[in-house]
Amino acid sequence: MPSTSTTDSSPSSSSYFTYPVSYAVTGLLRRLNSEPAPRHGSASGTTSLSQSIQSLNSDDMNSVFAPPGRKASPFQPPPLTPLSLKGYRSNTRESGRLLSKALAEEIRLLVPPRLQLVDDWELCYSLEQNGVSLATLYQRAEEYRGKRGGFVLVVRDGGGGVFGAYLSDAPRPSPHFYGNGECFLWRAHVLPALPDLSNLPPPPSADTANAVRMTTIGSKPGTLSPPNSKHASRSGTSTPERIRFKAFPYSGVNDYMIFCEQGFLSIGGGDGHYGLWLDDNLENGISSTCPTFGNEPLSDEGTKFEVLGVELWYLGA
């Protein structure tokens, strides 16, 4: 059987290198002969992007930023726990207790939010319990100075009216005004209690034109008459009180919040008037319209009034 030559079974070395070289040359010629396709999509995309940026910049320069609308949260804060007034002695008569829980709750709604969470108010000074002296009030308030709390001043005049102020700082003698915009003045009127109609018979449900009936209305003495303001109990422990409350917040006109000396205590001022002024014996007071709070006179007795009671309460830890 004749043998097959080597050249017939395997390609030569020259033909081995010919195939890749020819393939590379063919590909190179194909690239040189073909024209590059225009990049219409890229150019149009760049143009549209630049136009949108220019329009955005022009809109920002000529318009006012309006934040997106926000919806009110459906979640409400939990109700405040009831207040507890601490400091009244067991032998302190009811007429000597100026601040009731109902009135304290009204004042509580206007104090700074951090102090609304405080549910224990501490009696710092009471004219009924500590004597008639402004110096004693300063001395007892000094114990709370520097704490992150506030003070509620309560005054009762000769006509039974109750009014006062919220103080951001402890009252103390100072050569200049102090306090901040959290201070405010307030006044309150305890309205006469409504008559008790529980003993009245129910209205008739049928025609009683021909019926004969005798009715006797029984009530305790004084139930249908308003209580005397000088002897009425303001503690709020027996029956709820109906209070007409009015507050006068800081107006921003001036910074005459608190100014105290050994001879007097004053809150609010300007144009020669005091929002509330008390003498050193806590016997006489003055209340006028002042620019600091834009208030009306706090006492129904007029600009000058007689002082029957004073209390200072501390709110804070």
Six-digit token pair at 228?
């005397």
Ranking 21-35, 60-74, 84-98, 104-118 by mean pLDDT, the lowest is 21-35
Q: Please report the pLDDT score of residue 179 as a whole number.
A: 96
Q: Which of 121, 148, 165 is nearest to 259 (CA)?
A: 165
**3-state SS track over 199-235:** CCCCCCCCCCCCCCCCCCCCCCCCCCCCCCCCCCCCC
Q: Which residue has the higher pLDDT, 57 or 256?
A: 256
Tens digit of pLDDT for each residue in 87-136? 999 999 998 999 999 999 999 999 999 999 999 999 999 999 999 999 99
Tens digit of pLDDT for each residue in 197-208? 666 666 655 555
Q: Which of 180, 173, 127 is nearest to 150 (CA)?
A: 180
The b/e string for 165-186 (b: 16+ C-beta within 10 A; e otherwise) is: bbbbbbbbeeeebbbeebbbbb
The whole-model pTM stands at 0.64
Average per-residue pLDDT for the chain = 79
Residue 163 has pLDDT above 80, yes or no: yes
Q: Please report the pLDDT score of residue 166 as a whole number.
A: 98
Which pLDDT band, with edges at 50, 70 and 90, does 80 fall under?
confident
